[in-house]
Structure 1
Amino acid sequence: MKTLRQLYIFLAFTITFFTLNATNYPDWGATGHRTVGKIAEDYLTSKTKRKIADLLNGQSLALISTFGDDIKSDERYRKFSSWHYVNKPIGVNYEDSEKNPYGDLVVGITTCKKNILDKNTTKDDKVFYLKMLVHLIGDLHQPMHVGRKEDKGGNTLQVRWFNDGTNLHSVWDSKMINHFNMTYTELAKNSPKISKEQVKFLQKGTIVDWVNETQKYAVEVYNSTEVGEKLGYRYMYDHFELTRSQLQKGGIRLAKVLNDLFK
């Protein structure tokens, strides 16, 4: 009986631990981040590709795109947790919002770029900040990463995904992408074909401009969902094209940021 009771306690602790971590630190799932990295590779200059290959020892952007999530279980990197999002009131631009004293997406991306450009930064640190940068540009384009502060970007907004309980943030991070059942290479390959002029248009603006743009999509997501609502096929039909669009946009803009850094 004692052994059985200990087993129950262990299982309860394990479930609680992983639930809390999934609730507090979610991102685009691995498929989403790898899609962004794969798309970006098609828009890199030859010089940028060479520079990145040298830093990453030939590893692809898709492979290292999940790095920001991979290190979350390591206490040494806890200080970077707030870099994955910007939570601010709806309708308030980033410039006018109260800033997180621990940093946010804009601070994280800016810091990564600064360290990559600094001639005094060691190669190991450049690799670290490059991996973080690739990850954070992906996060920037997930609408719920620029969501409301009061519900932690949809993390505490409970809904149902088909018959399973979840939260709105998780639906946008991974539920829809996983339900679509394509690999990251398939998602990247099947991105809508766009012209060079359209690519240049998407790459215009600053990181702050992109944050403010993404919040507009977050508003649409909030307005289309009610607490406790059961989401499923209809929700996919209405919203998955926005997910695909944001993945493509994230990849194209990631390429722009990297080309500018390594030109």
Structure 2
Amino acid sequence: MKKTILFLCLFPLLTAADLPDWGRTGHRAIGEVAEAHLSRRARKAVSRLLEGESLAKVSTFGDDIKSDTTYRSFSPWHYVNLPPETPYGEITPNPDGDILQGIEHCIRVLKDPASPRDQQVFYLKLLVHLVGDLHQPMHVGRPEDRGGNDIQLQYFDKGTNLHRLWDSDMIEDYGMSYTELAETLPPATRREIRVIQSGSVLEWAGQSQSLANRVYASVENGEKLYYRYRYLWWDSVERQLLLGGLRLAAVLNDIYG
């Protein structure tokens, strides 16, 4: 009982970066999609750096290192808190970094031929994770509720919050492996893929923010959610996973040619 009370007292102190994002299944599905859309040169470069490990396998790297205090400074890189209707360009960037600054830094390191191999490996793995995070709308959520973490909900009579609902609850509810999830994502034509992969990381963040605003408007604190919520939002979950995978491939293809 004492341990439970201690945890509950400490829980509000956690930031959005301390909590999981997309869950392992979601991140790995994004990596699986990206792998299928790499150029030949990008595939070769990625395979060399990862020594044959797949993008799906390394996609959870950003979460795997969270418990290591050595990497604590990277915690703010997993998200950016934006007030509703306020674009990123109108806020004062977090001096400790955010997801947009983090992605930019990863790309800069990977494009620099002078970067040591160990740094290239580290920032490649981190980039794979962060691009996935960018497409989870609650990672571009409001500061006052820590990206939906403070909006408490009941999902099929189990306690959760809005952030976790989008991270993993809806995905895990289907019980699919990441390969099955990737295979069931809606197909996209070549033209649609070109459109999806166009634009900048900043524009992609703006799209996630727009989705986040709609997600916020769909629930109230303490609400009980069942099949209808999943039915209404599952297409959006699939869409974000697809966007994350295709855009990750675009970023890597741009880096490696």
TM range (shorter): over 0.9
Which of 120, 127, 141 in structure 1 is aligned with 2:114?
Answer: 120
Asked if 1:197 is matched to 2:186, the reply is no
Shift of 1:142: 0.3
Change in Cα spacing, 1:18 to 1:223, as seen in structure 2 (3 Å) is closer
- 2:164 alignment counterpart: 170
Say whether the 8 Å CA contact 2:15–2:146 is kept in structure 1: no
Please show how residues 24-173 of structure 1 align to structure 2 within 5 Å. Answer: 24-173=18-167
Normalising by structure 2, what TM-score?
A: 0.95
User: Any unmatched runs of 5+ in structure 1?
Assistant: 1-7
Deviations 1:24-48 (A, max 9, x none): 4221100000000000011101111
Single out whichever of 94-103 and 240-249 deviates more from structure 2. Answer: 94-103
Shift of 1:98: 2.4
Which of 203, 207, 217 in structure 2 is aligned with 1:213?
Answer: 207
Say whether the 8 Å CA contact 2:138–2:166 is kept in structure 1: yes
- Percent identical among aligned pairs is 48
Normalising by structure 1, what TM-score?
A: 0.93
What is the distance in 2 between the residues matched to 1:212 and 1:193? 23
Q: Which one has a bigger Cα radius of gyration?
A: 1
Asked if 1:240 is matched to 2:239, the reply is no
Say whether the 8 Å CA contact 1:87–1:147 is kept in structure 2: yes
Say whether the 8 Å CA contact 1:146–1:218 is kept in structure 2: yes
Q: Which runs of 4+ in 1 moved over 3 A?
A: 8-24
Change in Cα spacing, 1:208 to 1:46, as seen in structure 2 (3 Å) is same
Give the AA of the match of 2:53: Q
What is the distance in 2 between the residues matched to 1:228 and 1:18? 18
Deviations 1:113-171 (A, max 9, x none): 11111122111110000000000000000010001011010011111111111110000
Q: Look up the SS of the partner of 2:187 in the other structure.
A: coil
Deviations 1:149-206 (A, max 9, x none): 1101001111111111111000000000000211110011112121100000001100
Single out whichever of 89-98 and 250-259 deviates more from structure 2. Answer: 89-98
Shift of 1:231: 1.1
Give the AA of the match of 1:227: N
- 1:258 alignment counterpart: 252
What is the distance in 2 between the residues matched to 1:26 and 1:184? 16
User: Any unmatched runs of 5+ in structure 2?
Assistant: none
Say whether the 8 Å CA contact 2:34–2:246 is kept in structure 1: yes
Deviations 1:221-240 (A, max 9, x none): 00111110001211100001
Give the AA of the match of 2:91: S
What is the distance in 2 between the residues matched to 1:14 and 1:20? 10
Say whether the 8 Å CA contact 2:80–2:141 is kept in structure 1: yes
Q: Look up the SS of the partner of 1:227 in the other structure.
A: coil
Q: Look up the SS of the partner of 1:154 in the other structure.
A: coil
What is the distance in 2 between the residues matched to 1:61 and 1:235? 31
Report the count of equivalent residues. 256
Say whether the 8 Å CA contact 1:37–1:65 is kept in structure 2: yes
Say whether the 8 Å CA contact 1:88–1:98 is kept in structure 2: no
